[in-house]
Amino acid sequence: SPTKVLVVACHACQHLTDETLEIASEYGVNIAVMPCCQKDHKGSWKGLSKRLAKSNGNKSNNSQETASLSFGTIMDLLTAGKMMAWNTGLQANVEYVVKMKLMDSAITLQNRIIMCKSMQRRDDNSNDEEREA
C-alpha cells in the first residue's frame, strides 16, 4: 500500500532530489529529501540570493539586521513549493502537506529536510478526517 511507503533521499543532488520527488509523487507515497548541490540553470534565483545576502548588512528602521536566505535555502523553498502545486500527485489521487525542517549544522551543512506527507485528494464533499491516505 502506498500509504505505508516512505521514500528517503539524503544529500540528493538537485537533479536527484527533483527526480525522487517526481517519481514518488507519481505513486502517491510519503517523501523526505535532504537536497544538496542546488543548480539554477537560468540564473534568476541565484541573483536574488546574492541581493538578499548583500542586504543582510543593512539595518532596518528597528535597528535589527534584515533576514538573508542562502541560495540553497531559496532552491529548497522552490522545491517544496513544487510539491504543494495543485497537479503534484494528481496521477495517484493525492496531494501533499509539505514541511521543512532543519538539522544541526554541526552534523551537515546541507541541513534542510523537505518532508512531504501524502494525503487523499479532497473532493468538494469530503471532510478533513477522510483525507489522510
pLDDT, tens digit (0-9, with 9 covering 90-100), for 6-38: 899 888 887 899 899 999 999 999 999 998 887
What is the arithmetic mean of pLDDT over 72-101?
90
**Of residues 74 and 56, which shows the higher confidence score?**
74
**Global pTM?**
0.73
Alpha helices, DSSP H only, in the chain? 14-27, 44-55, 71-83
pLDDT, tens digit (0-9, with 9 covering 90-100), for 52-61: 667 655 554 5
Minimal CA–CA distance to 55: which of 67, 43, 72?
67
